[in-house]
Structure 1
Amino acid sequence: MTEPQPKPTKEELSARAARVRLLVFDVDGVLTDGGLYYGDGGELMKRFDVKDGHALVMARLMGLPAALLTARTSTIVEVRGRELGLAAILQGKKEKTPALHDLLTQFSIPPESCAYMGDDLNDLGPMSHVGLSSCPADAVPEVRQEAHFVAQNRGGHGAARELVELCLKASGRWEEAVGLMRRSEKKSGRVG
């Protein structure tokens, strides 16, 4: 077994997060709770966290695009990704590292300007090729060991939002994002 990578200091983590120009997320166990619900006709449901989704919209509005990279294929994921206005939805990618490289090339983003969040062993490849690797609190031990940033929340329960907030705060865009949300609420007349 290899020695665990030392975790970056708070300053190093902030510097990595400030450089991020593209967020890439695995789906099952990261944006969902990892549960797969099947009926007679196949997959019926996945559970997504609305706070994660809201954070992805905020990131997009602040000029920080996000993408999905998953080994599975699901209409549900396509629908959710489009609903959130994600930059790319890559499904059925059993070999995630080459798919990540293609995505980075497509968007002209160097690997050090990408953050990736995964939760299982098949995410170790992409995690080792980005500037900011991250995972939910309930990721498998090998992934938690390799991640630069381990969220306090579980997958499908706010972990993705933590990564978005980390990147927006480190790049000085968080307050602007909050202000944008406040102005949006006032314009719509919504109270709560």
Structure 2
Amino acid sequence: MNKNYKEILNQITTFILDVDGVLTDSSVHVTPTGEMLRIMNIRDGFAIKAALESGYHVCIISGGNNEGVRIRLRNLGVTDIHLASPDKVETFKEYIELYHIQPEQVLYMGDDIPDYHVMQLVGLPVCPQDASPEIKAISKYVSHKNGGRGAVREVIEQVMKVQGKWHLYYNGKHD
């Protein structure tokens, strides 16, 4: 763990997440009709919903494009969903400009090379345990969990705990 990692958690107002390899385990189940199915972790979903209800920004930036993923994220309350993003850096810049977010306020969780350049622009680049070596090398924190197996929950919960919001949410005082 990076020595100043915990200090950075206090600045975070925004979570930006990749999908495949972060919210999923990178597996794709292909049906006979060619539909690609992904599995997402319920606890990751709970943490995303808790973050949104606690006033954090949550944004999804993914190169993939799957309507099932979009529906799942919308059901959690995520409104900023950028699928089939050809340039994650450009999408990131547009997003933070739209909401007047400073890059140092952003926790970005990615797992592979398409996330590399955008992760270099944020205050807290993080990744799942099973991320590529290049992404681990630039991450200020590597989760103890694999992608799709609770890594998102782990980092959201850490931020909310450090900021004193997890306990409020947990006790039902998040209204």
- Give the TM-score band, short-chain normalised: over 0.9
Unmatched segments (≥5 aa) in structure 1: 1-6, 185-192
SS at match of 1:66: strand
Structure 1 residue 68 corresponds to structure 2 residue 60:
yes
Structure 1 residue 8 corresponds to structure 2 residue 2:
yes
**Corresponding residue number in structure 1 for 2:113:** 121
Q: Determine if contact 1:32/1:157 at 8 Å carries over to the other structure.
A: yes
Distance 1:166 1:127 in 2: 19
TM-score by length of 1: 0.87
Match of 1:32 among 24, 39, 48: 24
Map of 1:20-169 to 2, 5 A cutoff? 20-169=12-161
Q: Determine if contact 1:65/1:87 at 8 Å carries over to the other structure.
A: no
Q: Determine if contact 1:133/1:149 at 8 Å carries over to the other structure.
A: yes
Distance 2:34 2:60 in 1: 22
SS at match of 1:180: coil
Deviation at 1:106, TM superposition (A): 1.3
Unmatched segments (≥5 aa) in structure 2: none
Distance 2:36 2:123 in 1: 35
Aligned pairs, number: 175
Distance 2:81 2:156 in 1: 18
Please report the RMSD computed on the Cα atoms of aligned residues, expressed in angstroms: 1.6
Distance 2:33 2:9 in 1: 42
Q: Percent identity between the aligned chains?
A: 30
Letter in 2 for 1:83: N
